[in-house]
Amino acid sequence: MKIGIDLLWVRPGICGGTESYIRNLMEGFGRYDEANRYVLLVSKDNGDSFAPYDRYANMERLALPVESASQPKRILWENLHLDRTARRLGIDVMFIPVYSMPLTYGSDIPYVSVIHDLQAIHYPEYFSTVRRAFLKYMWKHACRASAHVVTISEYCRRDLESHYPAATGKCSVIYNPVETKASGMSAESLKKRYGIEAGGYFYCVSAMLPHKNLEMLLEAMALRKRRGEERPLVISGVGGDKAAFGEAAANRGIEELVIDTGFVADEVRDCLYENCRLFLFPSVFEGFGMPPIEAMRRGKRVVMTRESCLEEVTRGKAVYVEKPYDAEEWAEKIDAALALPEERVDFEEYGLRHVVGEYLRVFEKCAGFGTVGTAGA
């Protein structure tokens, strides 16, 4: 098969977990799929970021005349030209790793779309009226017109099918691929960069958005400080109101205990995972939630909520806060986790080889080969 992958939507360093997902998945396609060819459809301004995949013989990059930084122009180009480009290239299956299947779809090429979550339905306040309407329409279109729809947890599948019944019967759960690598950095580099010691800080990877529930961590940190237990909280991520977050930390008198790294390179993030004492994840809404898996793969104890898909994807192996908005319980569960030894959880079901196999079953079914069921269920 010749499989096209639409990467025009990727704005490097901005798309967060969705970008990590597709880069991990393409790494898996490169390593483990010797039977098929992949055409990576990239833009003028993001193409260089995909150069590392040139080392795989089954992958080729094609730079298209559009810039990802301009979302309206990119969306217009996709709708006017993407399907036509796929036909010209002789694509057998078109893979859309997000919701942006062209509205002008008219070929007989099967499209496989991925819908990661329905955040605009659950948190409409994050989106303008126009953006919210656009997302809802695109989700509806993807469910109706795609040959197959992939989503990333059983929670998301139930949510998707309840809002878009057209997805029922052609929706598979394929969990996100999680690639865990050694950072290659020393703990000493963290001390020089952030003034923190190995084992001497808590870590969190998160955008600063309300559903990430970071204020509860600030409250818990303030409680611990009043008890004489001062350990820094390091947060990495993009998106949200950083100024408001900084003000919230200052208002609680813990600004010296909160280190906001902003966006960091993968090796820095991995080094922060490797050397933290605990990983804290207070989010109350996720489609999958890769950071807890990344931490647990490294043997770190994780304190988190059970909300949305989070207990599902962590398989009940974290330390869970029952009341996500109770700072006292957060402080108690942090203390409980500190008393536990480190314990590595491999999560083989999120390994690249396994996840690639699940996607290939979908692609083969859509191209007229094999069968596909609900993966990951």
Rounded distance between C-alpha atoms, residue 4 and residue 134, angstroms:
24
> Which residue has 């580099």 as its token pair?
189
pLDDT digits (tens, 9 = 90+) for 252-302: 999 999 999 998 999 999 999 999 999 999 999 999 999 999 999 999 999
Report the share of the chain in percent with pLDDT over 70: 97
pLDDT at 376 over 90: no
Could you give phi then psi for residue 75, rounded to 5 degrees?
-65, -40
- pLDDT classification of 99: cutoffs 50, 70, 90: confident
Q: Indicate the range of 110-114, 115-119, 345-349, 371-375 predicted with least confidence.
A: 371-375
- pLDDT classification of 232: cutoffs 50, 70, 90: very high
DSSP string, 216-230: HHHHHHHHHHHTT--
The pLDDT value given to residue 160? 97
Stated length of the chain: 377
Distances (CA, A) of 13 to 67, 116, 263: 15, 18, 7
- pLDDT classification of 305: cutoffs 50, 70, 90: very high
Work out the number of other CB atoms within 10 angstroms of the CB of residue 3: 24
β partners of residue 47: none
The pLDDT value given to residue 370? 55
Helices of type H across 227-375: 242-251, 266-275, 290-297, 310-314, 327-338, 352-366
In order of their start, the domains of the chain are 2-177+351-366 (3.40.50.2000), 187-348 (3.40.50.2000)
The pLDDT value given to residue 263? 87
Rounded distance between C-alpha atoms, residue 114 and residue 91, angstroms:
18
Helices of type H across the chain: 17-32, 71-77, 83-89, 119-122, 129-145, 154-163, 187-194, 214-226, 242-251, 266-275, 290-297, 310-314, 327-338, 352-366
Exposure string of 260-296, with b = 16+ CB inside 10 Å and e = fewer, is: ebeebeeebbbbbbbbbbbbbbbbbbbbbbbbbbbbb
DSSP string, 100-124: ---TT--SS--EEEE----HHHH-G
> Which residue has 């898909």 as its token pair?
309
Question: Checking DSSP bridges between strand 2-6 and strand 37-42, what pairing results, if any?
Answer: parallel
Task: State the DSSP code for 318.
Answer: S
Give the closest residue to 289 by CA, choosing from 20, 2, 1, 12. Answer: 20
Work out the number of other CB atoms within 10 angstroms of the CB of residue 148: 19
Rounded distance between C-alpha atoms, residue 66 and residue 55, angstroms:
24
Task: State the DSSP code for 240.
Answer: B
Chain mean position to CA 97: 12
Decide which of 20 and 25 is more confident: 25
pLDDT digits (tens, 9 = 90+) for 198-207: 999 999 999 9
Task: State the DSSP code for 137.
Answer: H
Which residues, 6+ apart, have CB-to-CB distance to 57 below 8 Å?
A: none
Give the angle 272-276-279 at the CA atoms, nearest 5°.
Answer: 100
pLDDT digits (tens, 9 = 90+) for 146-192: 999 999 999 999 999 999 999 999 999 999 999 898 999 999 999 99
Question: 180: exposed, middle or buried (C-beta count within 10 Å: 0-12, 13-18, 19+)?
Answer: middle
- pLDDT classification of 326: cutoffs 50, 70, 90: very high
- pLDDT classification of 371: cutoffs 50, 70, 90: low
The pLDDT value given to residue 28? 96
Decide which of 237 and 30 is more confident: 30
pLDDT digits (tens, 9 = 90+) for 125-147: 999 999 999 999 999 999 999 99
pLDDT at 373 over 60: no
Residue pair 246/255 in contact (Cβ under 8 Å)? The answer is yes
The pLDDT value given to residue 12? 87
Rounded distance between C-alpha atoms, residue 190 and residue 271, angstroms:
8
